[in-house]
Structure 1
């Protein structure tokens, strides 16, 4: 088997895993904590470790859109588009930090970004859009549940990845 065939096989395997992880993300999107806060991003954070940061960004982004869709876009479509971009970025950063440093640091950064940073970014946006829950009221209402759910998603992704890390190698 030549190099090109090996690369095609790896790409096909990654696409199949990505599809399966998006399906898992859909299942997680149905396990809601509050509004559109759910267990959808665990698959995205796992993908960032297992398949690579770009795949993690893709799965996390699609995962959030699925959660927003199954929740009826409670924060409006523009806010959920921003959150979708945030989720992709945070999963990507998680994967990069893990590769360059370690899982503990990557997990801490991902939890802070997703739990606090995401809501901080939305404070002026929710105020500008004049949502019923906006500004600092929005921040205080969301930061606790989002931080807790972020911790659950990130820690579960990390634990699952570490438990299979040496059993599967597709990179």
Structure 2
């Protein structure tokens, strides 16, 4: 692995730890922004790894508030979210607005309603519904931050990262 790619991945993991400390509720935090930006820049495979690591670090810092097995499931769902998000984006440097919107809507659908549906067998509908608003706030904040940073990055940097 190239030093530049390893450095970028390490930086994104460190940013996940920082974002994990900005809590919305329990382990719901701003820890997935680095995974989203990593997915946009490095592709879905690295994004999946960053999402899982980021969520598990956030869950650890929150004391695994929903239990370790549930957080493993949430980490896996974060990986699925990044795969879908990355599949649409395809590491493109220039994105059409409709592609950007579609990737964000798809990420929201996988990250909020689909992920919460996987938790219904553990907590029931009454236990999952209170998570909709905080998870929506965190997801939208992470996605907006991702798009702002992605659009702010110089084209030369995006091209350089795309070759890693």
Runs of 4+ in 1 over 3 A off after TM superposition: none
Given the superposition, is the C-alpha separation of residues 165 and 84 from structure 1 closer, same or farther in structure 2, using an over 3 Å criterion?
farther
Q: Name the residue aligned to 1:136.
A: 125
Q: Distance in 2 between matches of 1:167 and 1:61?
A: 29
Q: Name the SS of the counterpart of 1:102 in structure 2.
A: helix
Q: Name the residue aligned to 2:95.
A: none
Q: Name the residue aligned to 1:46.
A: 37
Give TM-score scaled by structure 2 length.
0.89
Larger radius of gyration: 1
Q: Name the residue aligned to 1:105.
A: 102
Deviation for aligned residue 1:167: 3.3
Q: Name the residue aligned to 1:76.
A: 67
Q: Name the residue aligned to 2:151.
A: 162
Deviations 1:39-86 (A, max 9, x none): 000000110001111111111110000010000001000000001111
Deviations 1:113-134 (A, max 9, x none): 101111011101x1xxxxxxx2
Matched residues, number = 154
Deviations 1:3-34 (A, max 9, x none): xxxxx6xx321111001000000000000000
Q: Name the residue aligned to 1:31.
A: 22
Q: Name the residue aligned to 1:86.
A: 77
Larger mean Cα displacement after TM superposition, 25-34 or 108-117: 108-117
Larger mean Cα displacement after TM superposition, 72-81 or 155-164: 155-164
Deviations 1:64-112 (A, max 9, x none): 0001000000100000000111111211211111228711100011011
Asked if the contact 1:31/1:39 (under 8 Å) is kept, the reply is yes
